[in-house]
Structure 1
Amino acid sequence: MTRARALRTRCLGAEGIGQVASAGGLDDALRYLAATPYRRDVTPGTTPAEAQRAVSTTLLWHLRVLAGWQPADGTDAVRALAAGFEISNTEHRLRALTADPEPPGGQRLHPPPYRLGALSIAWTRVAAARSPSELRTALAASAWGDPGGDPPAAIATGMRVAAALRLAAAVPGAQRWAAARLALLLGREVFVVGRRLPDVSAHRAARLLGPRAVAAASYAEFRQALPATAGWLLEDVEDAAGLWRAEARWWDAVERDGRELLRRARFGPQPVVGAAALLSADAWRTRGALELAARGGGPGDRTGDVFDGPG
């Protein structure tokens, strides 16, 4: 518990995030970050995408350290909270499998994969896949389960649905986080993008959201059918076009709950979950602040509007 609480010092915090967001440009923001826990690989001249990825890499390292201090149940909880990194790796692997093998000029199209260590679920097998169908087979043979289709969108969505279920099962008290995150995913996929979930993913999503919400024909029906564990996130989001606001609200709740877990818990995985939640929320806000800095700077409280990173 003491080690988990000590990791709070690795957060930039509201003041630091505000400094990054209000910087006059990206290089100024990176010079500020060079004296913070996010200093790795954030030198002036880095692109916004590279800087944001460096922040995520720092978060992953902190989560790996946190997991390394834990017994099995604590490691499982951190692995569930870090599932977005393996999803990101898989998405990039899918793009590499479907891209031109010899791009003009030889420029790098895909970043190196995140180094997951003990937080990996099936990455070694996924990384070895030579086609989207092989990748799907590797997932189906793992704890991820069959995503229900070969297209990259089906695989990515299937993994995110599976991640939500794992979060609810492996992280004490996280069912509210998992259900709300899944509601946001489903709302975007179906009512913004216009893409129905594969049957396998729909059946899984129904375990947290209920069959009525998953089968809803309209956003209004979907919102009305959500259980209380998810409905709070969309409480005043009256149409699908406003779902972007729910992302920041979700992170606000994760951060608030994480702080409470660290304050109140004494034993078990709760302090670990609290530390991981605070670190993750801080990294998300810092990435958003970098986006604002790259646009010329702005109020720090807008950082929730601009980034949907690894969850």
Structure 2
Amino acid sequence: MGAGWAAGVTRARALRTRCLGAEGIRDVASSHTLEDALRYLAATPYRHDVSAAATPAEAQRAVSATLLWHLRVLAGWQPATGADAIRALASGFEISNTRHQLRYFSAVGPSPASAGAPAFDTGRLPPYHLGALATAWTRLARTRTPSELRATLAASVWGDPGGDTPAAVATGMRVSAALRLATAVPDAARWAAARLALLFGREVFVVGRRLPDVSVRRAARLLGPRAVGAGSYADFRHALPATARWLLDDVDEAADLWRAEARWWDAVERDGRELLRRSDFGPQPVVGAVALLSVDAWRIRGALELADRGGGPGDWWVEVLDAPR
């Protein structure tokens, strides 16, 4: 690692100041109304996309859009390998855009618009502007049917999701994203494996939905064939590799998997702080900065939800973030 990383790491450390932090998040969560919370955010680094008249969904999406903007700025300062790492870490935004694309198809059917024009829902929640962090969104945005969207995914780095239903596409993309993250960003491999274990456990043992075979095969590359082939949640949990098992250590029942969500984010925050403290000029501080920015945005979204309910106490994350969704 060397001079090529100097500017990127410096920028990563500077962006740490864009986080609201625990005290600011508590202030948002303790607001008595959503409007009060949004007025508070209007004086913070999240002010750019926040509107005082926003609905809860719009406000949460504005927070995510601010995170995405920070990641795009950060990626612009990185050497190629650093930009690739941020792109892998930001894959959830492209997944979100694609899910909305499928919802649009379900709502209106095949688009009658002329070829080449984006078919995304033009309602109140526009697609995220991915810029250089996109992998296949430019092509996905121009698809007209679920089958066309699936074919476009299959021809991209995402790979075939194994179906064109919203569930198959969303799950297939998440599995693919976890595998790519573990491969492209070794410092995030533990996060990727644990998150995939949580996804697989929910889909199979809570929802009762069998993943498409192609997604099962991809998941096996991180979780192991014994885990993905398990017939019960207990067998699944015990067969997981150490990189994923830590998240579910004391989650004895599949119905309690929701408790692992906040634990995953807490681990990402701890690891992110450690990575950001690294003194070398390399990818670790950059990955750490992305982790901390992402955790901050996730907690603010939860705090906005609590504010919309009338505000909460200091342990607000127990009420909001450690609750089934």
The TM-score normalised by the length of structure 1 is 0.94
Partner of 1:75: 83
The TM-score normalised by the length of structure 2 is 0.90
8 Å Cα contact 1:210-1:227 kept in structure 2: yes
Mapping of residues 122-201 of structure 1, within 5 Å: 122-201=136-215
Counterpart amino acid of residue 176 in structure 2: A
Counterpart amino acid of residue 174 in structure 1: A
Partner of 1:100: 108
> Is 1:87 equivalent to 2:89 in the alignment?
no
> What is the Cα deviation at residue 302 of structure 1?
3.4
> Is 1:120 equivalent to 2:134 in the alignment?
yes
Within 2, Cα distance between the matches of 1:217 and 1:181? Answer: 20
8 Å Cα contact 1:172-1:269 kept in structure 2: no
Partner of 1:33: 41
**Equivalent of 1:42 in 45, 50, 60:** 50
Counterpart amino acid of residue 119 in structure 1: L
Within 1, Cα distance between the matches of 2:75 and 2:14? Answer: 14
> What is the Cα deviation at residue 157 of structure 1?
0.2
> Is 1:250 equivalent to 2:264 in the alignment?
yes
Partner of 2:312: 298
> What is the Cα deviation at residue 306 of structure 1?
3.9
Partner of 1:8: 16
Within 2, Cα distance between the matches of 1:168 and 1:226? Answer: 16
Mapping of residues 50-69 of structure 1, within 5 Å: 50-69=58-77
8 Å Cα contact 1:180-1:229 kept in structure 2: yes
8 Å Cα contact 1:125-1:138 kept in structure 2: yes
Counterpart amino acid of residue 49 in structure 1: A
Counterpart amino acid of residue 87 in structure 2: R
> Is 1:23 equivalent to 2:31 in the alignment?
yes
> Is 1:203 equivalent to 2:217 in the alignment?
yes
Within 2, Cα distance between the matches of 1:122 and 1:304? Answer: 37
Counterpart amino acid of residue 139 in structure 1: L
> What is the Cα deviation at residue 301 of structure 1?
3.7
Moved more, 33-42 or 195-204: 33-42
Within 1, Cα distance between the matches of 2:319 and 2:173? Answer: 24
Within 1, Cα distance between the matches of 2:154 and 2:268? Answer: 30
Per-residue displacement from partner, 1:173-225 (whole Å, max 9, x unpaired)?
21110100000000110111110110000000000000111011111111111
Counterpart amino acid of residue 44 in structure 1: A
* Structure 2: tracts of 5 or more residues without a match: 1-8, 111-120
Within 2, Cα distance between the matches of 1:302 and 1:224? Answer: 32
Change (3 A) 1:135 1:73: same
8 Å Cα contact 1:223-1:234 kept in structure 2: yes
* Structure 1: tracts of 5 or more residues without a match: none
Mapping of residues 259-278 of structure 1, within 5 Å: 259-278=273-292
Indicate the SS of the match to 1:189: helix
Within 2, Cα distance between the matches of 1:182 and 1:301? Answer: 28
Identity %: 77
Aligned residues: 304
CA RMSD between the two structures: 1.7
Within 1, Cα distance between the matches of 2:266 and 2:43? Answer: 26
Within 2, Cα distance between the matches of 1:113 and 1:78? Answer: 19
